């Protein structure tokens, strides 16, 4: 079953895993040490993130390292860009309104 990347990032634990491995590739045990859950629980989150292609496995000897798949993150950023423009416009309008109010008080 192919999962949707937005379903994957909807979970706070999975977002935390993404943030954690964005800095450096980590083994499942090293990732699990950062969470108050079972190793199996973390493995389930890693499987979902892997299925969504947000992270990838790299084998180094007997160890598996998970690392962020940055190109897939760009897909999320592209979707968010449309909202970023709306937010920036609204913030600029708010800045203008506050400047007007400040001038009226002087």
**2: pLDDT strictly greater than 80:** no
Provide the sign of the torsion angle of the four alpha carbons 11, 74, 23, 49, taken in this order.
positive
Distance of CA 79 to the CA centre of its chain: 13
In three-state secondary structure terms, 35 is coil
Q: What is the pLDDT of residue 106?
A: 75
The reply to whether 60 and 85 lie within a common domain is no
The reply to whether 54 and 77 lie within a common domain is no
CA–CA distance, 100 with 78 (Å, rounded to integer): 34
What Cα–Cα distance (Å) separates residue 65 from each residue in 76, 88, 100?
23, 38, 55
**What is the arithmetic mean of pLDDT over 65-70?**
94
The reply to whether 60 and 91 lie within a common domain is no
Range of the domain at 105: 70-106
pLDDT category at 1 given cuts 50, 70, 90 is low
The reply to whether 59 and 75 lie within a common domain is no
pLDDT tens, position by position, 21-52: 999 999 999 999 999 988 999 999 999 999 99
Q: What is the pLDDT of residue 7?
A: 87
The reply to whether 47 and 96 lie within a common domain is no
Q: What is the pLDDT of residue 75?
A: 87
pTM, 2 dp: 0.76
CA–CA distance, 84 with 90 (Å, rounded to integer): 10
Provide the sign of the torsion angle of the four alpha carbons 31, 37, 41, 45, taken in this order.
negative
């Amino acid at each position: 079953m192919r999962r949707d990347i937005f379903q994957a990032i909807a979970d706070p634990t999975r977002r935390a895993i993404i943030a954690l491995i964005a800095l450096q590739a980590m083994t499942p045990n090293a990732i699990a040490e950062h969470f108050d859950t079972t190793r199996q629980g973390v493995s389930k989150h890693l499987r979902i993130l892997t299925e969504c292609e947000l992270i990838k496995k790299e084998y180094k000897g007997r160890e598996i390292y998970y690392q962020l798949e940055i190109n897939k993150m760009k897909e999320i950023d592209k979707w968010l860009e449309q909202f970023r423009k709306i937010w920036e416009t609204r913030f600029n309008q708010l800045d203008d309104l506050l400047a007007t109010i400040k001038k009226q008080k002087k």
